[in-house]
Each structure stands twice: as structure tokens, then as C-alpha cells.
Amino acid sequence: MVLFTRRRVLGSALSALPAIGWTASRRELVVGAASNLTAVFQTIGPAFESATGIHPVFSFGSTAQLAQQIAERAPIDLFAAADTSHIADLDRRGMLATGSRAVYATGILALWIPSSSRAKIGRIEDLAKADVQIVAAAKPELAPYGLAAVEAMRKVGIWEAVKPKMVYAPNVSMVQQYGVSGNADAVFTAFSLARNALGTTLQIDARLHHRLDQELAIPASAANMESAREFRKFLLQGGGRRILADSGYLVPGIR
């Protein structure tokens, strides 16, 4: 069971994003995290606080939206993106602390068929069948996992058939609600979010889409730079690595 113990409003730039925190502590930092990290960071947050005494406050959203927040100098101390391109763009614009960029994990695209779905889906190609009426994904222009879903469907030759069936949400966390509510026959999402969901979860062949390397960086405007460096170290070298690997991510050196 996950306990949500408090909510914060981190200025107008972040007011639309949910902030998740745990017990109060002396030092804090604000982490802007891609929505596919919602579940795993609920485990990483308390583990990091226990190890360091630093209290993390998470604000989740699509990678594109978070990158825009940082470009507008929102109060974010560390950015954990779902891709590398948005981090690279911020870096080109001189908005990141020197040497803070690093790939912390590689995501896995999944196709989740909720238990409420009556469609017979055993592989991605089955989405083109007549009994599949609605397929949900995150908006490709906002979310790397949504873009990967479109790439995969194009690669196997079903995109034109499936395109009229598509519905979209701003991020992978929100898109799963289509499946939870019974309003989609199948949902493209992150394996980390769907691996324990009721129904059937299929991992999509990584050769069908761009590699889902996920990169982090510290904004140059971070107010809690030292705490951000501690969180970065926890993800890259500390206990966060094993938690990521156990939660459905590929992590270098961990099988």
C-alpha cells in the first residue's frame, strides 16, 4: 500500500503537477520526474530519505511539459526525463549544471490488455483486428513512450489500420486510466507501470522503436544543488539502481 502523506504547490509553474512527499526532514529537494516513474519513485523516495536524510518532493508530468517548466525556470532541482532529447535540448540552451547529465535507466514499452477487454490480443499485430475498437497511448509529441508506440505500429505495418482507433492522454500514467475504466481494449504504456496490472501485459520488441534511454540532469537554476547531487548519486551508484531494475527498467550492470 502506498500512502500519500502530503501535497505541495511548487509555484504557479508546477501547480498542475501532483507533488508526492513523505515524512518531513531537515533538507529537501524537488524532483521533476517523467510520469512513467510514478510507481518506482514511490519506492525510491523513502529509500533515498532513509539513506540520506534528504526529503524528496516529486512532481510528475510528461517529459515535454517538464522540460518546458525547467526552461521557464520552475523550482526543480533535478529532472528525471523519459528520453535523452529533451535533456540534450536544455543542455544546448545552457540550462543545465555542467557534467550533471547521465542515463540512469532504459525503459521498456508495453502493451497492456486490461482484464475488462473482450478483444483477443496476443501480439501487437492483433491491434488491427476488428474486435479491437479503442487503443490508448500517450501523446507522441509529449511522451517518449507514446512516440515509441507509434513507431512500433508503423514498423509492423498496422499504423494506418489502428490510427482511427487511437485515443490519447498527456502521459503514460494518465493513459492507463483508459484501461482501468474499461474505455480501451489495449493500452500502450511503460512496462514498469503495467507489469502488475490486472489483465495481460506484453513487452514490445525493442527493435521496433527508438531506444528508450532515460536521462537525468540538474538544472543550472537548482536551489538545492547539493541535495540534487545526492539524489543523482543514489540513482546512478546507490540503492536506486536495484530498485529501478526490480521495477521493470533495464539498468547497466544489473540483470
Q: 14-32, pLDDT tens digit by residue?
A: 433 344 444 444 699 999 9
CATH number for 135: 3.40.190.10
Domain contains 253: no
Does residue 216 share a domain with residue 100?
Answer: yes
> In this predicted structure, what is the pLDDT of residue 206?
97
The string of DSSP letters for 67-89 reads HHHHHTT-S-SEEE-SSSHHHHH
Supply the range of the domain harboring residue 32.
Answer: 12-106+212-246
Give mean pLDDT, residues 229-246.
97
> In this predicted structure, what is the pLDDT of residue 252?
83
User: Whole-angstrom Cα distance, residue 74 to residue 130?
Assistant: 46
> In this predicted structure, what is the pLDDT of residue 255?
72
Answer whether residue 193 shows pLDDT above 70: yes
Answer whether residue 115 shows pLDDT above 50: yes
Does residue 97 share a domain with residue 216?
Answer: yes
Does residue 83 share a domain with residue 55?
Answer: yes
Does an H or E element contain 220, and which?
none
Task: Tell me the three cell numbers of residue 111.
Answer: 502493451
Answer whether residue 192 shows pLDDT above 70: yes
Answer whether residue 101 shows pLDDT above 90: yes
Domain contains 59: yes
> In this predicted structure, what is the pLDDT of residue 21?
46
Answer whether residue 7 shows pLDDT above 70: no
Does residue 70 share a domain with residue 129?
Answer: no
Mean pLDDT (the chain) is 90
Answer whether residue 6 shows pLDDT above 60: no
Domain contains 139: yes
Stated pTM of the model: 0.85
> In this predicted structure, what is the pLDDT of residue 100?
98
> In this predicted structure, what is the pLDDT of residue 92?
98
Give mean pLDDT, residues 30-46.
97
Give mean pLDDT, residues 205-209.
97
Task: Tell me the three cell numbers of residue 110.
Answer: 508495453
* 77 within 8 A of 29, measured Cβ to Cβ: yes
* 244 within 8 A of 238, measured Cβ to Cβ: no
Please name the residue ranges forming H helices in the chain. 38-52, 63-71, 85-92, 144-155, 159-162, 172-180, 191-194, 225-236, 240-246
